[in-house]
Chains A and B, each alone.
Chain A
Amino acid sequence: MLIYSIINRHLIFNSSISIFNLKQQYKYHPDHLKNSEPTVYQEEQLKSEEMLINMGPQHPSTHGVLRLEVITDGEIVKDVIPHLGYLHRCFEKHAESLSYNQVLPYVDRMDYLAAINSEHAFAMGVERMLGIEEQIPKRVEYIRVLLAELNRLASHFVAIGTYGIDIGAFTPFLWMMRDREHILRLLEWASGARMLYNYIWIGGLFFDVPVGFEERCKSFSNYLKPKLKDLENLLISNKIFIDRTANVGVLPMDLAINYGVTGPMLRGSGLKLDLRKVDGYSVYPELDFDVPIGEGKMGVVGDCWDRTWVRYRECEESIKIIDQCLERLTGDLKRDKEFDPRAAVPKKIRPKAQDFYVRSENPKGELGYFFRADGKSDKPFRVKSRGPSFVNLSVLPEISKGYMLADLVAIMGSLDVVMGEVDR
C-alpha cells in the first residue's frame, strides 16, 4: 500500500508539472512548525529525567495522520497530547453550500471504513426531518441494514486486523483483509464502488441489489462463520496477544461516560448500551441479536482485550443479523418487478425550519448529526457531525498515563479511530 501510494504520488506530481507548469508555492521557514503546531510542553518546563517524543503524524501505528506529543520518563508515559487536523477537509463548511442529497457523498468520506453506516444515519436524519420515514418500503430498509451490517463487519475486520499488526501479529491482518475483500466485492457489486458507495439515498436506494446478491451473501456468511472461529483461536485467545492487551489501558465505565465514549469502547467497559437496541431505529427492533459487553475475562473490565473481544463478538452478532435480513429478503420481501427502490425519493428536499439531532450506531460508536434547516432553501443551514472517533480519541491521554511507551501503541490501536472522521 505504501509503495503504491508513493508511485501514485509520483505520477500525479510529475504529470501536474508537465501539464500545468506548476510552480512551487510553499516557502520553507524553520519557524513554521513552531507557529502552526507548537508543542504544549516546552523544553524548559520538562524535568531533567523527562523527554518529549513526537509520535506521528507519519507513523504506522497511529492509523492515519495523527500526531501524539508524548512526555516520557524513561519508558513510562507521563502525558500524551494528540494534535489533530492533518486530514481536515471542511466537511461542515462544504455541507452548508450543498443540497442535502449532495452532502451524502461527503458523508462517505468521513468514516471511509464504514461508509454505508454513515450514509444510513444521514439519510435517516433527513427523512425524519421531512417526515417521510414511514413511507420507506420495508425491502429498502432491510437492504440498508444488510449492507450496513456487512460494512460493520468490514470495519471491525480492519480494526482487529490492524490491531494485531500493531502489536506484532502479522497473520490475522492478512486473514482479515482477505475476508474484508469479499465484503468489499459484494458492496462493489451492489453499488459500483469499493469503499465510498453513495448507495443509500434520501428516501430510498440508488438501485435494488443485483440478482443473485442474496444467495452470494448467504454463501459468504456460511464461509465466514468458521473463519471467525479461526480468528479467535489465532488472535483473540492467543497468549501473546492476551499478555500485551489484558490489564492495559483500563477505561472505567464512569470515566467512559463522562468522556462521551460510545460504541465497542463503552461496551468493553461493561455498559450494555447499543443504540440499535436503545433507539430501535430502522428495522432493528424486528431483528434478534445480543449486545456483547466486556466482562474482564482476561484482566480488568475495560482493558484493551475487552474492547477487542467486544468487536469480535459483534462480528458474530452481525452475521446473525445478516442471516435474518437474508431470510426476509428472500422470503416475504422477495424482489419483484414492481419494486422501485426510488419510489419514496423526494423530488425536492426542503425540510421545514427546525433543529434536529439524529444518532445511530456506527461500528465505532454513536454517530450523530445536528441539523438546522431554515425552511427556505434546499441547503442545510448548519450540519454538525459528532463523529465517534473524534470523541473516543479524546479519552486517550486519560487512559495511557503510567503505561509503557509500547503499551501506548496497544492502547491507541484498541481505540479504533479513523482519522478521516476525527478531522472531518
Chain B
Amino acid sequence: MTFEEIKSIISEKFPDAILGEDLNATPHALIIDKKSIFEVCELLHTHEHLYFDMLSCLSGLDNGPENGTMEVVYNLYSIPFSLHLMLKVELDRNQPEIDSVVSIWRTANWHEREAFDMFGIKFDNHPDLRRILLPLDWEGFPLQKDYQEQEKYHGMNVIYDRREEVENWKEG
C-alpha cells in the first residue's frame, strides 16, 4: 500500500477532505480539512486494507501570531500492514477548535488534554477536557509562541530571576 493509494482511498470517500500533501515530511503527510478529520480518522481506522489501529502521537503546534495558525499533527501506525501516515490539520489561531478522536483511539484522551493544556486547542466531544500537566488555575498556554508568564502563582515569583539576590550577596 503506497501513500498514493491511501490518498485515493480517502479522496474516494471524502472528496473535499484532503487539502494537500506534504511529501517532505517523514512519514508522508496529508493535510486534512478540520471539518472532516473525524470521518477521515474513522475511515482510516476501520478500512480493511489500512486498519490504522495505533495512534502513535498527537501533537499540537503553534505557528506563531504572524502566521495566525495552529496545527494538530496525528501520527498513525497500522500494526497488521506496517503502514505509517501523518495527518496535519490547520486551525485558526484565535479560535482553535477541532473534533476529538477519543472515540476512535482512546489514547487520544491524554494527548488531546496535553494539547489543550499547552496550546489551548479545544477538542469538541472530548469526555474530560481538563488541564493535565499544569495546575488548573495556571494562566495562559505555555507552548504558544507569544506566551507570557504570569507574575505570581500563589504568592511565588514565576519568573526565575535571582540576579538581585546574587548582587546583594556579593556586596554583603
Co-complex (A, B): yes
**Which of B57, B79, B138 is close to A357, meaning CB atoms less than 8 Å apart?**
B57
Cα A384 to Cα B74 with chains together (Å): 12
Nearest CB on B from A40, distance (A): 8
Cα distance, A92 to B143, chains bound together (Å): 8
Asked if B69 is an interface residue, CB under 8 A from chain A, the answer is: no
**B75 and A357 contact, CB distance less than 8 A:** yes
**Which residue in A22, A85, A92, A354 is a CB contact (below 8 Å) of B24?**
A354
- Of A27, A259, A390, which one neighbours B154 at CB under 8 angstroms? A27
Which range contains the number of A residues in contact with the other chain? 35 or more
Report A316-355 residues with CB < 8 Å from chain B CB: 352-355
The answer to the question of A88 belonging to the interface, with a C-beta cut-off of 8 Å to chain B, is yes
- Given A20-B165, A257-B79, A370-B73, verify A128-B26 contact (CB < 8 Å): yes
Write the chain A residue with the least CB distance to B132: A84
Stretch from B1-9, B90-98, B101-109 contacting the other chain: B101-109
- Asked if A366 is at the interface of the complex by the 8 Å CB criterion, the answer is yes
Main secondary structure of the interface of A (DSSP, over half): mixed
A85 touches B132 (CB 8 A): yes
Q: What residues of chain B lie closer than 8 Å to A356, measured between beta carbons?
A: 25-26
Q: Which of B55-107 contact A (CB under 8 A)?
A: 55-57, 59-62, 73, 75, 79, 82, 84, 86, 88, 105-107
Instruction: Check B53–A258 contact: CB distance below 8 A.
Output: yes
Pairwise interchain contact B59-A384, C-beta atoms closer than 8 A? yes
Q: Does A218 contact B (CB under 8 A)?
A: no
Q: Is the CB of B75 within 8 A of A368?
A: yes
Chain A residues contacting B168 (CB-CB under 8 Å) are 20-21
* Segment at the A interface, from B11-19, B33-41, B155-163: B155-163
Chain A, residues 84-100, CB within 8 Å of chain B (1/0): the string is 11001010110010000
Contact with A along B133-172 (1 / 0, CB 8 A): 1111110001100000000001111000010011011000
Query: Does B118 belong to the interface (CB within 8 Å)?
Result: yes
Closest residue to A356 on the B side, CB-wise?
B26
B22, B25, B143: the one contacting A93 at CB < 8 Å is B143
Over the window 139-170 of chain A, the binary record of Cβ atoms lying under 8 Å from chain B Cβ atoms (1 yes, 0 no) is 00000000000000000000000000000000
A271 at the interface (CB under 8 A from B): yes
Tell me, in angstroms, the Cα distance from A47 to B13 when the chains sit together: 48
Total number of residue pairs linking A and B with CB closer than 8 Å: 122
**Best-surrounded residue of B57, B111, B165, B168 (most CB of chain A within 10 A):** B57
Q: Does A25 contact B (CB under 8 A)?
A: yes
CB atoms of A21 and B73 under 8 A apart: no
Residues of A21-43 whose CB lies within 8 A of B = 21-22, 25-27, 29, 32, 35-38, 40
In the assembled complex, the CB of B4 is this many whole angstroms from the nearest CB of chain A, namely 19
B17 to chain A, nearest CB (A): 19
B139 to chain A, nearest CB (A): 12
Contacts of A29 in B (CB 8 A): 154
CB-based contact A354/B25 at 8 Å? yes
Residues on A with C-beta less than 8 A from B86 are: 355, 357
Whole-angstrom distance between the Cβ of A288 and the nearest chain B Cβ = 21
Note all chain A residues with C-beta closer than 8 A to B166: 20
Q: For A211, what are the chain B residues with a Cβ–Cβ distance below 8 Å?
A: none
CA distance A128 to B136 in the complex (A): 38
Q: Say yes or no: B82 contacts A278, CB within 8 Å.
A: yes
A423 at the binding interface (Cβ < 8 Å): yes
CA of A406 to CA of B1, assembled, Å: 48
Contact indicator B110/A390 (Cβ below 8 Å) = yes
Given known A-B contacts A25-B157, A84-B132, A260-B56, A394 and B110 have beta carbons under 8 A apart: yes
A132 to chain B, nearest CB (A): 15
Chain B residues whose C-beta falls within 8 Å of the C-beta of A37 in the assembled complex: 135-136
A93: which B residues are within 8 A, CB to CB? 142-143
A193 to chain B, nearest CB (A): 25
CA distance in complex: A7, B73 (Å)? 45
- Assess the A22–B53 pair: CB atoms within 8 A: no
Pair B79/A355 contact, Cβ less than 8 Å: no
Does the CB pair B105–A370 fall under 8 Å? no
Contacts of A358 in B (CB 8 A): 26
Is B136 a contact of A38 with CB atoms below 8 Å? yes
Cα separation A44 to B106 with both chains bound (whole Å): 28
Does A364 belong to the interface (CB within 8 Å)?
A: no
Across the interface, name the chain A residue whose C-beta is closest to B24.
A354
Q: How far is the CA of A370 from the CA of B62 in the complex (A)?
A: 14
15 A-B pairs (CB sep. < 8 Å): A20-B166, A20-B168, A36-B137, A36-B138, A84-B132, A93-B143, A271-B79, A273-B79, A353-B24, A354-B24, A355-B25, A356-B25, A370-B57, A370-B73, A394-B107
Chain B positions within 8 Å of A, measured between CB atoms, are 22, 24-27, 29, 53-57, 59-62, 73, 75, 79, 82, 84, 86, 88, 105-107, 109-111, 118, 128, 131-138, 142-143, 154-157, 162, 165-166, 168-169
Q: Which 10 A-B pairs have the closest CB atoms?
A: A27-B155, A260-B107, A36-B135, A384-B59, A355-B25, A85-B133, A386-B57, A20-B165, A25-B156, A35-B137
Apart from A93-B143, A357-B86, A382-B62, 4 more pairs, CB < 8 Å: A36-B137, A259-B107, A260-B54, A370-B57
